[in-house]
Amino acid sequence: MSQQAHPHEAAEPETPHLDFAGTTPYEDYVRADLLTHLQHTLSDDPGEMVFLVTTQVMELWFTVLVHEWETAAKALRSDDVPTAIAALKRSVRELEALNASWTPLAALTPAQFNSYRGALGEGSGFQSAMYRRLEFLLGDKSASMLVPHRGAPRAHAELEKALHEPSLYDEVLRLLARRGHAVPDAVLERDVSQRYEPDQAVEQVWAAVYSGEQDGELVRLGEALTDVAELVWRWRNDHLVATRRAMGAKAGTGGSAGVAWLEKRARKNVFPELWTARSHV
């Protein structure tokens, strides 16, 4: 065979470009220089770096999840269920990656955690504004959760907006009503800045949906939401177990009772009727 037939076999592969007038296009896009210089540890303990970076990695995943669930909520508002399901399915993979990032912190001993715990002062993940937006999207609204963010205008404004917007679940229930399901007016017209409380009629709606066409759009939506709910519950439980291993029953740096408080939080079901309806199908 002639060389002309396979010119790529004869020539050396091109090497990447090295010369750029300013910063690299990679840097301009990823902002890696900024991102990799945000690791300001507070102690001399070498184990603190992975604690800080894991926390930062989780903040980035929270940001992606908020984006996906806002995309899903917006799509539902305009009756575009396929776009909503696609965003929810992406978020399921992202939740799996988020949960996998517990690994480096999952088995800290109390002595290891104590080596830098004091340096954290009153700092706690409880004060994460992005996690709070995530909870708000799931329906766990609470105006008092804005209080810690009074000193951070952008985070406060974003949270306040999210507080007064319908959650992802509110949008799902409104869609079910538009599809002819008997979602009560009291649910559809509820004050969306309040925590969503489970409703028996909504449970019946989901039971009816799940008794119908199994590969119908609404069952597929329900299952994508159930995957999300399960993985959020897993994040809470992995957090709970990591905390129990690292500090037993001591009080949290954020001022709570620690494990006992987290146990109460982890008991709450995300999208409650999607779980309870299963007893009636």
Which chain residues interact with ligand HEM by CB under 6 A? Answer: 54-55, 58-59, 105, 108, 124-126, 128, 131, 239, 242-243, 246-247, 252-256, 258, 261-262, 265
- Residue number, 249 or 281, with CB nearest to ligand HEM: 249
Q: Give the residue with the Cβ less far from ligand HEM, 102 or 169.
A: 102
- Taking only Cα atoms into account, the Rg of the chain, rounded to an integer number of angstroms, comes to 23
| Burial class (CB within 10 angstroms; exposed 0-12, middle 13-18, buried 19+) of 225 | buried
Residue 31 beta carbon to ligand HEM: minimum distance, rounded to whole angstroms:
21
174 among annotated binding-site residues: no
- How many Å apart are CA 167 and CA 139, to the nearest integer? 5
DSSP label at 13? P
Q: For residues 85 and 80, give the distance between their C-alpha atoms in angstroms, rounded to a whole number.
A: 9
Task: Write down the least CB distance from residue 40 to ligand HEM, Å.
Answer: 16
Kindly tell me which of 23 and 109 has the beta carbon lying closer to ligand HEM: 109
Residue 239 annotated as lining a ligand binding site: yes
CB 99 within 8 A of CB 236: no
Cα–Cα distance for residue pair 6/3, rounded to 1 Å? 5
Task: Give every CB contact of residue 29 below 8 A, 6+ residues apart in sequence.
Answer: none
Q: How far is the CB of 162 from ligand HEM (least distance, A)?
A: 15
Is 149 annotated to bind a ligand? Reply is no
CB of 120 to ligand HEM, least distance (A): 9
Residue 105 or 209: the one with the smaller Cβ distance to ligand HEM is: 105
Closest CA to 92 of 64, 132, 133, 58: 64
Choose between 89 and 250: whose C-beta lies nearer to ligand HEM. 250
Sign of the CA dihedral with 188 first, then 193, 194, and 195 last: positive
Least distance CB 66 / ligand HEM (angstroms): 13
| Residue numbers belonging to the annotated binding site for heme | 239
| Residue numbers belonging to the annotated binding site | 117, 239, 253
